[in-house]
Amino acid sequence: MTRLALDQAAVAAEMAEFTSRMALATQQLATMDVPPDGCSARVEVHRQDKTVLWRYARTAPDAGLPPLVICYALVNRPYMLDLQPDRSLIRGLLARGLDVYLVDWGYPDRNDSALSLDDYVNRYLGACIDHVRREHGIPSVNLLGVCQGGTMAICHAALHPDRVRNLVTMVTPVDFHTDDNLLSKWAQKLDVDGIVDALGNVPGGLLNAAFVALMPLRLTVRKYAGLADIARDRGALENFLRMERWIHDSPDQAGTAFRQFIRDFFQENRLVRGGLEIGGQAVDPRRINCPILNVYAKLDHLVPPSSSRPLGGLVASSDYTPFEFDGGHIGIYVGRNAQELLPQNIAQWLNSR
């Protein structure tokens, strides 16, 4: 033990300080509340079952671009994109004159267990895009898919290439069988039929536990012990609470769609290997020939870059732009450097097409 140079008195003092700070932090947190719906002004413009399409109020002169429809994942809630005024991709896009819409899938309950990927990708997302097309009198929209929502956006663009003018994917899994994809390694062994047959819907808490288990010490011990460092900073504690609220706000997953996603994507990797069908129609990424901006995060532990990068090789688009963000899966939404960089890049890229 050559490196240990701990002094007992110093350790005791450090522990006392740590305990005192943690007590203060938890006292402070107990007095706080944070809204679960994001921070930017918006109105509901379309609703179908539990799916809601929100339109955000622009905060800058119109950039003159086709509206941007954001398709979020079925896992977790989309307010991560608008978490707080100084950490909001949506605000950044609005500030650049974009007309932003957000698809919110809501919280599936047991009545929704039969919802399939066809419902989500074709029916709900399709209806949202149709609403925007009608409202603006345009044939196609700009579509931005986030994480699993990016995979769904790719599928939609492949099935309905005429409806998508430009496609932006963010931290989106494409190749589910890359060697560093731990979540995929675990999912490949799941008896998803047995689980869905028994449970109907898959509890969000179960998925959350799996996400935390990817890096159990960093995502629990390090994160929570870090509260001691911000115990006297109310703003930082509010940020912490917002993030915690989002992390633990995990909708259950409609069983049928979950079964299809695990089987077709995680287990059989059909987007890459071929043979993917949604609603009885073949999903062939080679039908996508619109410009694509593929944003992925260099340090992403959930969707490693190796999973996102192959998109360029699967599509017919000659206009394909990869963009590697120097951060992780969460940092791409809320990291300080992301706030300027990401909306700026997306707006600029869209503007030049």
Partner 1 sequence: MNAPSGVPPFMAAWLEAQQALVRLAGAALAPPVASVVPQSFADAYRPLFAMPGFPAPAAGANTAAPDTSLWRYQQAAERVGKLLADAAADAGRRLGAALAADGPDAPPITSLRELQTLWIDCGEAAWSAAAHREEFAQAQAELLSAWVALRVAGQAG
**Interface ranges with partner 1 (CB under 8 A):** 1-8, 10-11, 14-15, 18-19, 22, 26, 29, 182, 185-186, 188-191, 194-195, 198-199, 205-206, 209, 212-218, 220-225, 227, 244, 248
Residues with a catalytic annotation lie at 147
Cβ proximity to partner 1: between 195 and 316 the closer is 195
Residue closer to partner 1, measured from CB, 139 or 216: 216
Q: Measured from the CB of residue 25, what is the shortest distance to partner 1 in angstroms?
A: 9
Nearer to partner 1, 107 or 224 (CB): 224
Alpha carbon distance 59, 91 (integer Å): 8
DSSP 319-331: -EEEEEESS-TTH
Nearer residue to partner 1 within complex by CB, 95 or 210? 210
For residue 187 the two structure tokens come to: 């999912």
Q: How far apart are CA 187 and CA 129, in angstroms?
A: 31
Work out how close the CB of 303 gets to partner 1 at its nearest, in angstroms, rounded to a whole number: 16
Give the integer Cα–Cα distance in Å for 168 and 292: 6
Q: DSSP 3-state assignment of 276? A: coil
Closest approach, Cβ 209 to partner 1, in A, equals 5
Min separation Cβ 100 and partner 1, Å: 31
Closer CB to partner 1, residue 220 or residue 348?
220
| Three-state secondary structure call for residue 123 | helix
Please report how close the Cβ of residue 308 comes to partner 1 at its closest, in angstroms. Answer: 19
Identify whether the C-beta of residue 183 lies closer than 8 Å to the C-beta of residue 265: no
Collect all residues with Cβ–Cβ distance below 8 Å to 68 and sequence separation of at least 6: 93, 98, 99, 100, 101, 141, 142, 143, 144, 168, 350
Burial of 66 (0-12, 13-18, 19+ CB in 10 A): buried
79 alpha carbon, distance to own chain's centre: 10
CA distance 234 to 239: 9
